[in-house]
Chains A and B, each alone.
Chain A
Amino acid sequence: MPGRNVLLEARGIVKRFGGLAANDHIDLTVRAGEIHALLGENGAGKSTLVKILYGSLQPDAGTVAWAGKQVAIGNPSEARALGIGMVFQHFSLFEGLTVAENIALALPPNAGRRGLAADVRSVSEAYGLPLDPAARVSGLPVGVRQRIEIVRCLLQRPRLIVMDEPTSVLTPQEAERLFETLRRLAGEGCAVLYISHRLEEIRQLCHAATVLRHGRVVGQPDPKTATAAQLARMMVGVDVEGEGGRRARRSRRGGTAAPVRLAVRGLSQSRGTAFGVALDDVSLEVRGGEILGVAGVAGNGQDELFAALSGEVPALDHAAVEIDGRACGRMGPAARRRLGAAFIPEERLGHAAVPEMRLSDNAVLTRHGTDPELVTGGLLRLSRARSLARRIVQRFDVRAPSGDPEARALSGGNLQKFVVGRELDRKPGVLAVSQPSWGVDIGAATEIRRGLAALADGGAAVLAISQDLDEILEISDRIAVISRGRLSPAVPASETTREAIGLLMGGAGD
């Protein structure tokens, strides 16, 4: 929409963290009424750029013009005063406060608190985003939390909304509703700066795009005419296999002749926390050589299923979980690893890896029980741990600071490659992985998925839990859907459709 007025114009933005230039002379122009995609791999500099535009980081060089006038955005309140609103990727909500209190905090101090609840209701209804102002955030599901962020943003009557990966946590239906809201806002003249990894989404939704790579602008393609493969190529700099409108589906391998390596039979677990989901009579079988994909919307029992598979929460019935024919329901994770299983949880920092520990220590944490060369007589062999970490870094192309850095020093995508690589390197017979490529750029995601496929091709049984339907369709031989703690029967990926899975995710199988 080149005819529209330029709303925001950033020129030559530079931001350095230590020696690394996160933003290296970035130019960005956003017009009123335009949905502008900001594309780039993890670490390309998108988050840094939007933090600068929102005033929570200060640029080292460069200028920002707002509606034609030079501005210095010193902090987020100033950004909001200009009319810039932001919906964060990792929500910026206060768990202990109510919905209305969360919203009040982002409004100007003189805004009355009495009319607020009514305002919240009217805005949320006008845009089809229902909310209860008195509810406490700690009890709300992710989709609702995002709604709070959006409503909070809309109440400030912004002229530009920055959205950082808004659909990563939504169901396809919720995402569609979000798109309608965004289109409507754009129609009212509001600009949207939209960050996403999902190329299809960008092609559907956005009017303009800026692609970043290594902190620089590498292109400004027209998302309406560019193909997803072209966008991806611009983003990662190489042709990405399997990306684009049609992903290459795995052809079914393993066959029914291969032995069952991972089995769950009639597993029921009560919910661990007040907001957990109880597992209800879950049964599944994964044969050697195949990948079973478990699709589902977040918070339908995925965490509980993964905990039951890994042994973090032992089953009541010892026979409910079997690894290579051996019952292990009451065993803990270390004992299950000794049976040849490996586990990659969803949360990489704090669950799969200890942020403050070096990569070598993190490598030891899941492997001390199964790799006798790492431990002799109860003592760690640190030099061997370090060379193991180096091997994982090299084999899985983990881009990390030199030496043996702490896990938290790695970017999200690289740490994910490390924690996946750590388990793949062991060549486990059974692998359970949750959200293998969550928040990871396309290049890394492709490598991770390729690694999982190679493991299965080598005869291992792989169970992959993911909320990303594209990922499930791409990697799985068979697909099951988890909904409200119940798992649907697994069907061959070639015999099902996106729509059928979407329906099951929405609870149609109940």
Chain B
Amino acid sequence: MTGSEAVILTIVTAATPLLLAALGELVTERSGVLNLGVEGMMIVGAVTGFAGAQLTGSAYLGVLSAVAGGMALSGLFGLLVLRLAANQVASGLALTLLGLGLSGMIGEAFIGQPGLKLERLYIPVLTDLPVVGAILFGQDLLVYVSAALAVCVSRFLFHTRGGLALRAVGNNHASAHMLGVSVIRTRFLAVLFGGACSGLAGGYLSLAYTPQWVEGMTAGRGWIALALVVFASWMPLRAAIGAYLFGGALILQFHAQAEGIPLPPQFLSALPYLATVAALVILSRDRWRARHDSPTCLGQVFVPDR
């Protein structure tokens, strides 16, 4: 394996959790709910995923329990902001704090244990192809899942009735309600999907990226995923491109340090946020575009009158 091949491989593994979490949050935000608890759901997914794998002895069952962990936490969030009409920003931040605390508690017993790792795919001949073989055909399953998910989310949002209803709810919840679309139900499902994706992203960290449990191992990736959604202007395929750019930036800082390139690592870790700010500036230069791209009802509480 050549050096650049290794770099690309690590970029892919760095980008995958970002993409998974961003796709979930993108769907949630398209429905008009701002869930700032991505970091919290990810870390809970990471710990439940690791625990599930340790207890069952199967990395794939670990993946499922990561999904369940993220969903459980998002269900709590959905209850708060949708049924009880709590403030979304405050609830989301609380969710992150809750998730960080909860994961530390659950994970205490697992600190230092060697973990199970999701195996990389091996297809004879294809994986052995020079240059592209390992990159295209030698990844773990979730890498392909994340890419497929980006395409599926895009198809769902723009080519199905359900996706149309979801976008309608995020665009104008009062009108959607008048037309008979159940705003609360649509949003709850979107929040659960967001939680499942965040949990999966967390599970990827503890089962594929670095197969072990370390407290706080998400290290701010949830926030990068949130920034990524805005960077992608709520478009799934742009989110995929963004995830690989941001993943690249994350990996670059390690290699830059190793190569002795005199770039401060802080600058590189700030790069995703700077890129998001730049994207926001570019987007909002065109006010019309900014208005119709972003979900108009994002963060607004909806209480149907009866």
B181 on the A face (CB < 8 A)? yes
> How many Å from the CB of A138 to the closest CB on chain B?
5
Contact present for B171 and A96 (CB under 8 Å): yes
Q: How far is the CA of A88 from the CA of B174 in the complex (A)?
A: 12
CA distance A138 to B171 in the complex (A): 11
Instruction: Tell me the count of chain B residues lying within 8 A, CB to CB, of chain A.
Output: 24
Tell me if A75 is interfacial: C-beta within 8 Å of chain B.
yes
Give the residues in chain B near A54, CB-CB below 8 Å. 178
Query: 1/0 per residue B166-178: CB within 8 Å of A?
Result: 0110011011111
A55 to B165, alpha carbons, bound, how many Å?
A: 19
Taking CB atoms, residues of chain A closer than 8 Å to B292 are 95-96, 136, 138
A101–B175 alpha-carbon span in the complex (Å): 13
- Cβ of B291 within 8 Å of any chain A Cβ, yes or no, is yes
Verify A139–B172 contact, CB threshold 8 A. Answer: no
If the complex has contacts A96-B167, A97-B168, are A77 and B161 also in contact, measured as CB distance less than 8 A?
Answer: no
B177 cross-chain contacts in A, Cβ below 8 A: 56
Residues B172 and A101 in contact, CB atoms below 8 Å apart:
no
Is A97's CB under 8 angstroms from B288's CB?
no
Residue of B nearest to A75 (CB): B180
For the residues of B in contact with A, the DSSP-based class is helix
Contacts of B306 in A (CB 8 A): 57-58
Residues on the A chain within 8 Å of B293, using CB: 96
Among the stretches A102-110, A335-343, A372-380, A459-467, the one at the interface with B is: A102-110
Contacts of A275 in B (CB 8 A): 288
Q: In the bound complex, how far is the Cα of B181 from the Cα of A56, in angstroms?
A: 11
Contact status B165-A96, CB under 8 Å: no
Residues on B with beta carbons closer than 8 Å to the beta carbon of A402: none
- B164 in the interface (beta carbon within 8 A): yes
> Digit string of B29-57 for contact with A (CB within 8 Å is 1, else 0)?
00000000000000000000000000000
List residues of chain A with CB within 8 A of the CB of B179: 76-77, 92, 105-106
List the B side residues contacting A105 at CB < 8 Å. Answer: 164-165, 168, 176, 179, 181
CB contact list, B36-80 vs A, under 8 A: none
Pair A94/B305 contact, Cβ less than 8 Å: no
Q: Does A274 contact B (CB under 8 A)?
A: yes
| Residues from chain B with Cβ under 8 Å of A109 in the complex | 161
CA distance A88 to B175 in the complex (A): 10
The contact of B167 among A75, A86, A97, by CB within 8 Å, is A97
A197 at the interface (CB under 8 A from B): no
- Does residue A224 face the partner (Cβ distance < 8 Å to B)? no
Give CA–CA (A273, B291) in the complex, Å.
12
- Contact of B287 with A95 in the complex, beta carbons under 8 Å: no
Interface string of A362-391 (1 = CB under 8 A from B): 000000000000000000000000000000
Tell me whether A284 is interfacial, beta carbon within 8 Å: no
Contact A274:B288 (CB < 8 A) given known A77-B180, A95-B296: yes
Structural contact, B180 and A94, CB atoms closer than 8 A: no
* Min distance, Cβ A185 to any Cβ of chain B, angstroms: 21
Query: Is B168 within 8 A of A56, CB to CB?
Result: no
Encoded as 1 (CB less than 8 Å from any A CB) or 0, chain B from 141 to 181 comes to 00000000000000000000100110110011011111111
- Whether B164 lies near A95 (C-beta < 8 A) is no
Whole-angstrom distance from the CB of A435 to the nearest CB of chain B? Answer: 23
Q: Give B62 Cβ to nearest chain A Cβ, in Å.
A: 37
Nearest A-chain residue to B294, judged by Cβ:
A96
Q: How many A-B residue pairs have CB under 8 A?
A: 72
A92 vs B180: C-alpha distance when bound (angstroms): 12
Which residues of A lie under 8 Å from residue B176 when comparing CB positions? Answer: 94, 105
A117 on interface, CB distance cutoff 8 Å: no
Q: Chain B's nearest CB lies how many Å from the CB of A249?
A: 41
Are B175 and A92 in contact (CB-based, < 8 A)?
Answer: yes
- CB distance B165 to A95 under 8 Å? no
Q: In the assembly, what is the distance between CA of A316 and CA of B89, in Å?
A: 41
Give chain B nearest CB distance to A234 CB in angstroms.
29
Given the contacts A76-B179, A93-B175, A113 and B161 also touching, CB distance less than 8 Å: yes
- How many angstroms between the C-alpha atoms of A136 and B181 in the bound complex? 21
A121-138 residues at the B interface, CB under 8 angstroms: 136, 138
A side interface size, CB within 8 A:
31
User: Does A287 have its Cβ within 8 Å of any Cβ on chain B?
Assistant: no
Can you list, as one digit per residue, whether each of A63-98 has a CB less than 8 Å from chain B (1) or not (0)? 000000000000111101000001010011111110
**CB pair B161 A104 closer than 8 Å:** yes
B296 contacts A92, C-beta separation under 8 Å: no
- List residues of chain B with CB within 8 A of the CB of A101: 164, 167-168
Q: How far is the CB of B115 from chain A (nearest CB, A)?
A: 44
A273-313 interface with B by 8 A CB criterion: 273-275
B161 contacts A94, C-beta separation under 8 Å:
no
Q: Bound state CA distance, A222 and B286, in angstroms? A: 53
Interchain CA distance A355-B172 in the complex, whole Å: 20
Q: A76-B180, A104-B164 are in contact. Are A94 and B288 (CB under 8 A)?
A: no
A94 proximity list for chain B (CB < 8 A): 167-168, 171-172, 175-176
Q: Determine the distance from Cα of A88 to Cα of B165 in the docked complex, in whole angstroms.
A: 19
Q: CB-nearest residue of chain A relative to B182? A: A75
Q: Which of B167, B175, B291 contacts A138 (CB 8 A)?
A: B291
Given A57-B305, A76-B178, A105-B181, are A96 and B287 neighbors across the interface (CB < 8 Å)?
A: no
Q: How far is the CA of A274 from the CA of B286 in the complex (A)?
A: 9
Least CB distance from B198 to A in Å reads 25
B166 CB → nearest A CB, Å: 11
Q: Tell me the smallest distance from the CB of B27 to a CB of chain A, in Å.
A: 16
Cα A337 to Cα B126 in complex, Å, equals: 77
Name the CB-closest residue of B to A110.
B161
A77 to B291, CA, bound (A): 29
Evaluate contact between A274 and B175: CB separation under 8 angstroms: no
A75 to B306, CA, bound (A): 10
Q: Which residues of A contact B168 (CB under 8 A)?
A: 94, 97, 101, 105
Most buried by B among A54, A77, A80, A96: A96
B175 to nearest A CB, angstroms?
4
Q: Given A136-B292, A273-B287, A275-B288, do A92 and B178 touch, yes or no (CB 8 Å)? A: yes
Task: Check if B164 sits within 8 Å of A56, measured CB to CB.
Answer: no
Residue of A nearest to B288 (CB): A274
Contact of A95 among B161, B172, B174 (CB under 8 A): B172
30 intermolecular pairs with C-beta atoms under 8 Å apart = A54-B178, A56-B177, A56-B178, A56-B305, A58-B306, A76-B178, A77-B179, A77-B180, A88-B178, A91-B175, A92-B174, A92-B175, A92-B178, A92-B179, A94-B167, A94-B168, A94-B175, A95-B171, A95-B172, A95-B296, A96-B292, A101-B164, A104-B161, A104-B164, A105-B164, A106-B179, A109-B161, A138-B291, A273-B288, A275-B288
Can you list the 7 inter-chain pairs with the closest CB atoms, starting with the nearest? A77-B180, A92-B175, A76-B180, A96-B292, A94-B171, A96-B171, A274-B288
List 6 extra interface pairs beyond A57-B306, A80-B180, A101-B167, CB under 8 A.
A76-B178, A86-B178, A91-B175, A95-B291, A101-B164, A113-B161
Interface residues of B (CB under 8 A from A): 161, 164-165, 167-168, 171-172, 174-181, 287-288, 291-293, 295-296, 305-306
